[in-house]
Amino acid sequence: MVFWGLRTFMQARAPHGMTVLCYLVCGFLIWNITTQILTKAMHAIDGNRNLLTFPQVFPLDVILARAVVVIATQVVSMSIILGIGAMCGYGVTVSNLGLLLTALLMAVCFGLGCGAMLSALAAYMPALHNIVPMVLRILFFASGVFFSVSMFSHRVGEWLLLNPIMQIIEMARTAMSQGYISPYFDVEYLLFVNLAVLSTGLLLERFIRRRLQA
């Protein structure tokens, strides 16, 4: 809401023919889902050790439960913001619902994979609980939450697009814009990254599960 108000006050137009509202909602929705799932999953084991003493409960169960809460909270809150904007006269358009849902799924999978990896690693390296938030603060300004990669030179853009969150945000913005198809996301790259982090995260979760049961 603050960024929306600032861009509106400064009369800064969003690129791709989108309204400022939709432009920012796409960025913050993907960012919040990814990073909140990641951070909550990372704290899942330490925050639920008593619950994990039950043989029926595994670390993955706690991680998934936290992810569901994050997804529901973010989707509902962003829907309310879009609804308020629509009532105030701002154009709200979803030109490709399938692509938007794909972007949300990519964000969820990336957050789950990274969160599961960090959750297992944090059991051996507790300092990660302090390091990861600092890294996320830097990534916030390099993930295209409130800017587009098209604003930068080709060389800078190539480095920024190595960040999967940036590409997922571009995918979501394509889904909510009329007539604009972003060249700044690669579905094959995102599938490969998500498969890699999910596979690694689930393998490490199985490893830490055995340690907790020992």
CA distance 49 to 208: 12
What average pLDDT score do residues 99-127 get? Answer: 91
Q: Which amino acid is at 23?
A: Y
DSSP state letter for 57: -
| Residue 156 vs residue 56, higher pLDDT | 156
What average pLDDT score do residues 84-105 get? Answer: 87
CA distance 118 to 129: 9
Instruction: Delimit the domains of the chain by residue range.
Output: 2-213
For tokens 């432009």, the residue is 23
Each residue's pLDDT tens digit, 151-173 = 788 888 888 899 999 999 999 98
In this prediction the pTM is 0.87
CA distance 207 to 201: 10
Q: Are 57 and 134 contacting, i.e. CB atoms less than 8 angstroms apart? A: no
For tokens 């300004």, the residue is 141
Q: Are 198 and 204 contacting, i.e. CB atoms less than 8 angstroms apart? A: no
pLDDT at 120 (0 to 100): 85
pLDDT at 12 (0 to 100): 52
